[in-house]
């Protein structure tokens, strides 16, 4: 699907780097007044503001972070933006701008890169993000996307990983483990397809899982909910590498311990059903699987009434003194030390 | 030299992503008060300021932008920072922070990555830059560096590519073409070395060229000189892709033409001597060769007295009405249209 053998395709060497950048960025809108100059100079320029700036960056590499065998380019572009915005929201900040750098081998025609950028543009439109710069080059192998996201927040609103105190409640948004199971389903279907290219799989019963893998969303809505509810988390992180890994980050940065209750971990019915089908232990998957892009945060107990009953939030535990360590309390009331099982890139 | 066969080397999978980031960033200093939080959270945090922010990003890929056969890792780290700072200075802004993302294949041991970061740190120390974040991952092939640089300037001081007017003087800093010739010398020595690994070449007579290729500097000093001389260029760009390409950018963005005088183009004696040795036409090389990281700018004629006689600056031409086009005036007083011959990544 990606090889440059379509008669209507345009080789990249024909259009050149500057032509490519113009072609790819011409339809992007500017949403924010503080974006003075976007693409087209040595650097982008942002107006001064009375807020603080947050900056985060992520690198996505073909063969490591994604497989174009089941990840359509448009979805990849969308997801590449989302994973960066998620980090901005995890600071309780508003994402405003991104830069996008790509390296592509010559097996990609212009039309493939346009498809990638259509996903980037969809994310920018959906989340009101200004594309303000980037770099475009060739690669010796495969596709690579490097995105930097810039956001803003009042200094007093910014939430670090380091503010949790003993007895704070540990809360998670949405539900966990679906993106990982979506990947398992897609991997399986890819293998089936390789054996029988005419197979027409019915993936309806996995639709939520696949959507979570191919078109994840970042929790911009939660930042607004915090503002409306007048809740400021004491610490926060986004769940990209798995619940256990993120809990340990909060514990380490905040110098606290934690009790996590297995029975409280929010799982979608499709997650539970698919874990049974694939003979996987759903709690293990929730603890160790990445790419959920939900927010994990702690709040002071006095704020509990503000979030109680809100369908976006699930209280899954509470923080303890540091010397108590970080533990999972199982349904059988066993206490098991939490270890980092998150996704590792090496 | 890079293969992981040294007994004292540490495979990256042993240290893991978070361990690696800690190890690599622990010795970096923070120079700027507005860097509130650097590495270690979902995003870096910069304090509010009454200045504008400029942001630029560059991607460097092994086999496309550099060859580890003659580019030592420490130099590569240094240069990767420099190319980004150069873009910030080209806005007449002060560079303050960078994020550094790297992807490395498992042929690189920890010690190689530390060597790369020692060059990044040297650049940060020399230019007073805070390392505030990044991403570290594995690659399927080779080494890749993606850097984003953040700078600041008063709104009224920022210089775009678009402000040149007819009759403005065209000025360049330093001298041109040395980095490209340095690359030619290194490429030649690499081939000699492949034939005879015991060859001990005397590269003394190319030392300036090789230094310009392996350890370029960005013109932070020039931004200070502008301030001291009370000169604000009407337009500016850094020379990364060759003089002709950059002139055409200024002409297009400013909607003006240009007369460039061949005899004025500043060339180091080593450039002239090496062009003769390699049978290259030095003007062609100066027009088309990249990686000089000098600044090309225009000033109003009334500012000429302020820069006259300053050894950092050479007036090489003047801008004209747009309909006159962009031309090189040769030593023989011929008028030749300037075409983009710059380095193309596709």
Read off the CATH number of the domain in which B80 is found: 3.30.1330.10
| A122 sits in which H/E element | helix A110-127
pLDDT band at A60 (very low <50, low <70, confident <90, very high): very high
What does the pLDDT average to over B114-118? Answer: 96
**Residue whose tokens read 């290729």:** B213
pLDDT band at B175 (very low <50, low <70, confident <90, very high): very high
What does the pLDDT look like over B72-109, one tens digit per residue? 999 999 999 999 999 999 999 999 999 999 999 988 99
CA–CA dist A176, A292 (Å, integer): 6
Same domain, A281 and A211: yes
Cα atoms in the Cβ-side hemisphere of radius 13 Å centred on B273: 10
Same domain, A210 and A323: yes
Q: Does pLDDT of B9 surpass 90?
A: no
Q: What ipTM goes with this model? A: 0.91
Q: Does pLDDT of B31 surpass 80?
A: yes
Which residue range forms the structural domain that includes residue A89?
12-157
- Helix A207-214 crosses helix A269-277 at what angle (to 10 degrees)? 100
Q: Which three-class secondary structure state does DSSP give residue A9?
A: coil
Of A132, A157, A182, the residue that ends a domain is A157
Q: Does pLDDT of A316 surpass 80?
A: yes
pLDDT band at B157 (very low <50, low <70, confident <90, very high): very high
Q: What is the CA radius of gyration of chain B?
A: 21
What does the pLDDT look like over B117-133, one tens digit per residue? 999 999 999 999 999 99
User: What is the DSSP annotation of A37-61?
Assistant: E-SSSSSEEE--BSSEEEEEEEEEE
pLDDT at A1: 35
pLDDT at A5: 46
CA B228 to chain A, closest CA, distance in angstroms equals 23
pLDDT at B153: 97
Q: Does pLDDT of B5 surpass 50?
A: no
Q: Is residue A68 part of a domain?
A: yes
Considering CB atoms only, which of A47, A135, A142 is closest to B58?
A135
Contacts of B51 in chain A (CB under 8 A): 48
pLDDT band at B191 (very low <50, low <70, confident <90, very high): confident
Same domain, B146 and B174: no
CA–CA dist A256, A167 (Å, integer): 10
Sheet holding B44-46, edge to edge: A130-138, A94-104, A143-153, A52-61, B44-46, B35-37
Q: Give the count of domains, chain B.
A: 2
Which of B40, B42, B137 to mutate against chain A (most A CBs within 10 Å)? B42
Sign of torsion, CA A248 A251 A255 A261? negative
Of B129, B157, B185, the residue that ends a domain is B157
Same domain, A124 and A198: no
Greater confidence (A232 vs B191) lies with A232
Same domain, A127 and A178: no
CA–CA dist B36, B30 (Å, integer): 9
Q: Is residue B149 part of a domain?
A: yes
In the 8-state DSSP scheme, what is residue B60?
E
Q: Is residue A343 part of a domain?
A: no
Greater confidence (B249 vs B196) lies with B249
Q: Which residue of A has its CA nearest to B108?
A: A346
Greater confidence (A83 vs B21) lies with A83
Q: Does pLDDT of A36 surpass 70?
A: yes
Q: Which residue of A has its CA nearest to B245?
A: A18
Is the pTM value of this prediction over 0.90? Answer: yes
What does the pLDDT look like over B221-246, one tens digit per residue? 999 999 999 999 999 999 998 999 99
Question: CA A334, A340, A345 angle in degrees (round to 5)?
Answer: 155
Same domain, B69 and B109: yes
Same domain, B129 and B186: no
Q: Does pLDDT of A4 surpass 50?
A: no
Of B104, B124, B157, the residue that ends a domain is B157
Lowest mean pLDDT segment, chosen from A103-107, A321-325, B73-77, B322-326: A103-107
Find out whether B140 and B61 touch, Cβ atoms under 8 Å.
no
**Residue whose tokens read 């939660």:** A222
Q: Is residue B162 part of a domain?
A: no
Q: Is residue B346 part of a domain?
A: no
pLDDT at B4: 43
Q: Is residue B255 part of a domain?
A: yes
Contacts of B59 in chain A (CB under 8 A): 101-103, 135, 137, 144, 146
**Residue whose tokens read 């490519």:** A20
Read off the CATH number of the domain in which A179 is found: 3.90.650.10
CA A95 to chain B, closest CA, distance in angstroms equals 11
Q: Is residue A346 part of a domain?
A: no
Q: Do B48 and A44 touch (CB under 8 A)?
A: no
Q: Does pLDDT of B271 surpass 90?
A: yes
Which of A57, A134, A340, A344 to mutate against chain B (most B CBs within 10 Å)? A57
Q: Which residue of B has its CA nearest to A15?
A: B346
Lowest mean pLDDT segment, chosen from A167-176, B196-205, B289-298, B307-316: B196-205
Same domain, B298 and B174: yes
Same domain, B147 and B178: no
Q: Is residue B2 part of a domain?
A: no
Q: Which residue of B has its CA nearest to A90?
A: B42
Lowest mean pLDDT segment, chosen from A120-124, B51-55, B196-200: B196-200
Contacts of B90 in chain A (CB under 8 A): 42-43
Mean pLDDT of chain A: 93
Which of B4, B57, B240 to mutate against chain A (most A CBs within 10 Å)? B57
Sort strands A94-104 and A130-138 into parallel, antiparallel or unpaired. parallel
Find out whether A212 and A292 touch, Cβ atoms under 8 Å.
yes
Same domain, B30 and B148: yes
| B338 sits in which H/E element | none
Same domain, B121 and B177: no
State phi, psi for A162 to the nearest 5 degrees.
-100, 10
pLDDT at B8: 66
CA B157 to chain A, closest CA, distance in angstroms equals 12
CA A42 to chain B, closest CA, distance in angstroms equals 5
Q: Do B36 and A48 touch (CB under 8 A)?
A: no
Same domain, A189 and A132: no
């Amino acid at each position: 699907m990606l090889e440059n053998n379509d008669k209507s395709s345009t080789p990249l060497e024909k259009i050149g780097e500057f032509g490519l950048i113009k072609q790819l960025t011409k339809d992007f809108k500017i949403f924010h007044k503080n974006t003075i100059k976007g693409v087209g100079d040595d650097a982008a320029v942002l107006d001064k503001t009375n807020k603080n700036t947050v900056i985060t960056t992520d690198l996505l590499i073909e063969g490591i972070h994604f497989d174009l065998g089941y990840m359509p380019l448009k979805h990849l572009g969308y997801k590449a933006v989302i994973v960066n915005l998620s980090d901005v929201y995890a600071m309780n900040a508003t994402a405003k701008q991104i830069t996008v750098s790509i390296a592509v081998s010559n097996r990609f025609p212009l039309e493939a890169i346009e498809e990638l950028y259509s996903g980037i543009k969809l994310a920018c439109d959906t989340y009101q993000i200004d594309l303000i710069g980037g770099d475009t080059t060739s690669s010796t192998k495969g596709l690579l996307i490097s995105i930097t996201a810039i956001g803003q927040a009042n200094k007093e609103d910014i939430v670090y990983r380091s503010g949790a105190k003993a007895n704070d409640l540990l809360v998670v948004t949405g539900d966990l483990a679906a993106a990982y199971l979506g990947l398992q389903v897609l991997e399986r279907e890819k293998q089936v397809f390789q054996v029988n290219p005419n197979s027409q799989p019915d993936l309806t019963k996995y639709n939520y899982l696949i959507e979570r893998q191919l078109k994840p969303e970042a929790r911009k809505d939660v930042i607004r909910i915090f503002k409306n509810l007048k809740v400021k988390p004491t610490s926060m992180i986004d769940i990209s590498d798995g619940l256990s890994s993120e809990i340990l980050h909060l514990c380490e940065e905040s110098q606290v311990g934690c009790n996590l209750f297995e029975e409280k971990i929010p799982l979608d019915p499709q997650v539970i059903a698919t874990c049974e089908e694939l003979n996987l232990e759903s709690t293990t998957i929730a603890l160790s699987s990445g790419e959920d892009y939900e927010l994990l945060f702690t709040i002071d107990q006095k704020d509990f009434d503000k979030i109680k009953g809100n369908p976006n939030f699930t209280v899954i535990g509470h923080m303890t003194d540091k010397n108590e360590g970080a533990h999972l309390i199982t349904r059988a009331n066993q206490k098991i030390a939490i270890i980092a099982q998150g996704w590792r890139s090496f």
